[in-house]
Amino acid sequence: MISRLATTILLSLTLPGIAQSLDIQKVTSPGGITAWLVEDHSIPFTALEIDFLGGAAIENAAETGTAYFLSGLFDEGAGDYDASAYQRQMRDVAAEFSFDAYRESISVRARFLTEYRDESIELLRLALQEPRFDPERVEFVRNQILAILADRASAPNDIASDTVNQLAFGDHVLGRPIEGNEESVRARTSDELEQFRQRALTRDGAYIGVAGDISPGELGILLDELLGGLPLDAPELPPAPDYRLGGGTTVIEFPTPQSTVVFMQEGILRNDEDFLTAYVMNEILGSPSYSSRLQKEVREERGLTYGIASFLGTHSTVGFVTGRFSTENQSVREAVEVVAEIWRDLANDGVDEAELSRVKTYLMGAYPLRFDGNGSIASILASMQRDDLPITYVENRNTMIDQLTPDDVSRVAARILRPDDLHFVIVGQPEGLDPAVTDESVAISGQSVFERPEQIHDRPD
Amino acid sequence: MKTFFLGAVLSLLTMAASPVVHAAHKMNAFRLDNGLQLVVIEDRRSPAISQTLWYRVGAADEPPGKSGIAHYVEHLMFKGTRNFAPGFYRQTVQNLGGNDNAFTSRDSTGYIQRIAADHLETIMELEADRMHNLILTDDDIETERRVVLEERNMRTDTNPGALLSEQMSASLYLNHPYSIPIIGWRHEIEQLSRDDIFDFYKTHYAPNNAILVIAGDIAPHEALRLAQEHYGPLQANPHIKTRIRPQEPPHLAERRLVMTDERIATPYIVRRYLASERNPGEQRTAASLSLLAAILGGDGINSFLTQKLEIEANISIYSSAYYRGTSVDPTGFGLVVVPADSVTMQEAEEALDEALDEFLQTGVEEAQLNRIKKGIYAANIYEQDSVQSVARRVGEALSSGLTLEDVRVWPDILQSVTAAEILDAARSLFRPESSVTGWALNEDIES
Exposure letters B220-249 (e unless 16+ CB within 10 A, then b): beebbebbbebbbebeebeebeeeeeeebe
pLDDT of A150 reads 93
Instruction: Tell me if residue B425 falls in helix, strand or coil.
Output: helix
pLDDT of A372 reads 87
- From chain A, pick out residues whose CB is under 8 angstroms from the CB of B415: none
- Residues of B belonging to the active site: 74
- Give the predicted TM-score (pTM) of the model: 0.89
Query: Residue A253, class by beta-carbon neighbours within 10 Å (0-12 exposed, 13-18 middle, 19+ buried)?
Result: exposed
pLDDT of A290 reads 87
Query: To the nearest whole number, what is the mean pLDDT of chain B?
Result: 92
Once rounded to an integer, what is the mean pLDDT over residues B189-212?
A: 98
Q: How many CB atoms lie within 10 A of CB B171?
A: 17
Which chain B residue lies closest to A139 (C-alpha atoms)? B317
Does pLDDT of B28 surpass 60? Answer: yes
- From chain B, pick out residues whose CB is under 8 angstroms from the CB of A300: 143
Which pLDDT band holds residue B24 (cuts at 50, 70, 90)?
A: low
Once rounded to an integer, what is the mean pLDDT over residues B405-419?
A: 96
pLDDT in tens, A103-112: 999 999 999 9
CB A159 within 8 A of CB A454: no
Which of B276, B259, B248, B266 minimizes the C-alpha distance to B316? B266
Interface A:B, Cβ pairs < 8 A = 196
Quick one: which H or E segment has residue A194?
A: helix A190-200
pLDDT in tens, A370-387: 998 999 999 999 999 999
pLDDT of A355 reads 96
Torsion sign over Cα B60, B62, B67, B72: negative
pLDDT of B5 reads 39
pLDDT of B46 reads 86
CA B160 to chain centre: 21
- From chain B, pick out residues whose CB is under 8 angstroms from the CB of A76: 1, 301
Q: Which residues pair with A320 in a beta bridge?
A: A266, A313
pLDDT of A432 reads 80
Q: How far off is chain B from A2, nearest CA to CA, in Å?
A: 33
Which is more confident, B126 or A438? B126
Q: How far off is chain A from B316, nearest CA to CA, in Å?
A: 10
Tell me the CA distances in angstroms from A404 to A279, B332, B421, one per residue in order. Answer: 11, 53, 63
Once rounded to an integer, what is the mean pLDDT over residues B144-166?
A: 94
Q: What are phi and psi of B101, to 5 degrees?
A: -165, 180
CA A354 to chain centre: 32
pLDDT of B25 reads 73
Stretches in chain A below the pLDDT threshold 50? 1-20, 435-461
pLDDT of B4 reads 40
Q: Say if the Cβ atoms of A365 and B154 lie within 8 Å.
A: no
Nearest-CB residue to B158 (from A91, A145, A258): A258
Nearest-CB residue to B147 (from A84, A290, A306): A306
pLDDT of B20 reads 35
pLDDT of B406 reads 97
